[in-house]
Amino acid sequence: MTDRTLGQRGEDAAAAYLERAGMTIVDRNWRCKAGEIDIVALDGTTLVLCEVKTRRTVAKGTPEEAVTVTKQRRIGRLAAAYIQQAGIEPVEVRFDVVSILVIAADRALLRHHRAAFVLQ
Amino acid sequence: MRSTVRTSTIRGIEAIPVDVELDVSSGLPSFSIVGLADVAVLEARERVRSAVRASGFAFPNARVVVNLAPGPLRKHGTGFDLPIAAALLAATGQLPSRIVDGCTLVGELSLDGSVRSVPGMLAHALLARETGVLIGPVCSDGAADLEDLEYRPLARLGDLVRDRSSLMPAAASIAATEESPSEDMADIFGHELAKRALEVAATGGHNVLMVGPPGAGKTMLARRLPGILPPLTADERLSTALVHSVAGLDDAAPLSGVRPFRAPHHSSSIAGLVGGGSPPRPGEVSLAHNGVLFLDEMPEFGPASLQALRQPMEDGRVVLVRADGRIRFPARFALVGAANPCPCGFLGDPDRPCTCPPGAVGRYAARIGGPLLDRIDMYLRIERVDPARVLDARPDEASWIIRERVVQARERASTRGLGQTASLTGTALFAACRLSPEARRGVERAARAYHLSGRGITRLLRVARSVADLDGLPRVDRDQIDEAIAYRFGTGGGSLGTCP
């Protein structure tokens, strides 16, 4: 399995998980010039912008560690762009991170970080 | 929602009021602090967030902006944690704002929500005494005991929401605790002249330089000086404790009346001695305010460090000039130095010859330098004690007895109402001395014989005044002048002590 399809399958699993947790998926892989938001969802009235990280090993750190401050800032810019483009005015915005660690061909550990970070 | 909470930041030894304005608005979740904050203040974000959650409150999923006003003032330290957290709770409706209205909040937050002390609580308390209630950590050293201050100690952030009725009344004023110095003058055998001289120095706060061969007892004598110093007066306690507080040191000892005794090592930097750094911190001279600064092996100190002492010795304070203004630290201290007479240590010794090469002795003495030596009131030659006396040792007069005499002498001096002997000048000094005609002639003769400067005469008269106070005499007579002259010029020829 290539890294690309691994990431794709991870995002599918994350989306399925978020829906099961009661959220409504609004958008997947929303793109603009500045980059991509993996999953956009609604949790009640809160707009949730979700970054999904999938890894096969922890050799280079856990998946969630990959969401560095630089990446957080980029997601922040993307969020502003999304809100403007979608023409919505959300009551509340939240940044979530879903980390998936694949441990066997048919087995993975999923962790959902609600409000994983705030911008500085 | 917006809220404002009052706090203060330390500049020098002073607390300056700062307003913490906090705005919670809809938008991308963020937490930012503006207003010339240093790294420690910016780190408050992580501590506040953890402490707010750990205390059972909610951290808003919104845009949080903190402004520290006034803008141009640099803010530093961790004391902003508590006011920022309180402003956040007030802005999000989790804390009724009447609880913090009119209060000054200062304190660092631990991740579990407990409130920690910060340096300078005493300075914050002095400011809060003028403006209202102070809310701060439980462990706040002397600040909580300040008279006329309404202090509300807070163990945890969560305790804020409890009503104001839990306000603790100001505790009774601090009682002087009798400390028992472990080192007593009674342990020193012989050295009667030196002990008498230190008694005079303790009475008037005079500067002393002890010169003698290694092992003669210079350091031993100096270490026992705190034991014969009188306790601090009420005013002195506060000003000395304030310096200790902003330096992050325990202010309990000065508040209970113990005179500071600072003995910095000779490798100390200039900034460490006279103060400096960013933010500016008081140096050893300020920590010795109203007490003693002891410089052991004085010629080993860097020449620049020693010369930096000259200005605080004259002015009784240190002024640091920075791009954003001047900062003053008090530094009224008595200098006590110890030195060998020469590099080998045996110059002037009756038994052992000095083995220093030619020129080395002069260079050694020159390290301290004339202008600094001119500010020394008393030179003591400390000789090795006769072996028979060391072996037949009988306990000598105990420190507390000497101290009793010093306290009485200081009381006599204070009834004159002219201020401390060590800072008397001009007409006030002459009025205090009330020289007899014979004493006056003695001073004149000594001034001509030793080419005394105006400062030299002033310093001579101050020492003579202390001798008279110790002996219970209202006027300074010939004997006291002679004793003062002996302290200044009595040491053996060619040694460090006679350099001026």
Q: Which residue is it, tokens 């990431």?
A: A7
Confidence class for position B497, pLDDT limits 50, 70, 90 = very low
Tokens of B228: 């014969």
Nearest CA in chain A to B60: A92
Whole-model pTM: value is: 0.82
Fold for domain B185-488? Rossmann fold (3.40.50)
What was the pLDDT predicted at B211? 87
Residue B257 near residue B232 (C-beta atoms within 8 A) = yes
Query: From CA B376, how far away is CA B386, in angstroms rounded?
Result: 28
Q: Could you tell me if B30 lies within 8 Å of chain A, comparing CB atoms?
A: yes
pLDDT of B175 over the 60 cut:
no
- Exposed, middle or buried: residue B342 (CB in 10 Å: 0-12, 13-18, 19+)? buried
Nearest to A95 among B29, B45, B64 (CB): B29
pLDDT tens for residues B390-419? Answer: 777 677 788 888 888 989 888 888 887 777
What is the complex's ipTM, to 2 decimals?
0.74
Query: From CA B469, how far away is CA B407, in angstroms rounded?
Result: 10
**According to CATH, where is 3.40.50.300 located in chain B?**
185-488
Query: From CA B176, how far away is CA B256, in angstroms rounded?
Result: 5
Residue bearing the bigger pLDDT, B76 or B353? B76
- State mean pLDDT over A10-32: 94
- State mean pLDDT over A20-35: 92
Residue A90: list chain B partners with CB under 8 A: 26
Residue B183 near residue B224 (C-beta atoms within 8 A) = yes
Confidence class for position B498, pLDDT limits 50, 70, 90 = very low
pLDDT of B495 over the 50 cut:
no
A92 DSSP β-pair partners: A46
DSSP label at residue B73? S
What was the pLDDT predicted at B142? 72
User: In degrees to the nearest 10, what's the CA dihedral of B198, B202, B204, B205?
Assistant: 100
Subunit contact B26:A46, Cβ cutoff 8 A: no
- State mean pLDDT over B72-81: 92
Query: From CA B157, how far away is CA B481, in angstroms rounded?
Result: 63
How many angstroms separate the CA of residue B90 from the nearest CA in chain A? Answer: 19
What was the pLDDT predicted at B182? 64
Query: From CA B42, how far away is CA B31, in angstroms rounded?
Result: 10
pLDDT tens for residues B115-171? Answer: 999 999 999 999 998 888 999 998 766 777 777 888 889 999 999 987 554 445 444
What was the pLDDT predicted at B180? 53
Residue B62: list chain A partners with CB under 8 A: 92
Residue bearing the bigger pLDDT, B413 or B49? B49
Mean pLDDT for chain B?
A: 85
Angle at B458 between CA B457 and CA B463, to 5 degrees: 95
A117 by DSSP, 3-state: which? Answer: coil
Query: From CA B343, how far away is CA B262, in angstroms rounded?
Result: 25
Burial B471-482 (b: 16+ CB within 10 A, else e): eeeeebbbbbbb
Q: Could you tell me if A79 lies within 8 Å of chain B, comparing CB atoms?
A: yes
How many angstroms separate the CA of residue A56 from the nearest CA in chain B? Answer: 31
What was the pLDDT predicted at B496? 56
Q: Provide the CA B271 distance to its chain's centre, in angstroms.
A: 15
Query: From CA B53, how far away is CA B360, in angstroms rounded?
Result: 68
B328 DSSP β-pair partners: B319
Q: How far is CA A33 from CA A67, A71, A78, A102, B122, in A?
A: 20, 15, 9, 30, 55
pLDDT of A2 over the 80 cut:
no
pLDDT tens for residues B418-443? Answer: 777 877 887 888 877 888 888 888 88
What was the pLDDT predicted at B70? 93
pLDDT tens for residues B293-316? Answer: 999 988 888 888 888 888 898 888
Fold for domain B2-169? Ribosomal Protein S5; domain 2 (3.30.230)
pLDDT above 70: percentage of residues in chain B? 93
Q: Which of B27-36, B165-174, B323-332 has the lowest mean pLDDT?
A: B165-174
Query: From CA B260, how far away is CA B245, in angstroms rounded?
Result: 13
Q: Could you tell me if A8 lies within 8 Å of chain B, comparing CB atoms?
A: no
Residue B150 near residue B167 (C-beta atoms within 8 A) = yes
What was the pLDDT predicted at B176? 44
Residue bearing the bigger pLDDT, B493 or B107? B107
How many angstroms separate the CA of residue A92 from the nearest CA in chain B? Answer: 7
Q: Could you tell me if B131 lies within 8 Å of chain A, comparing CB atoms?
A: no
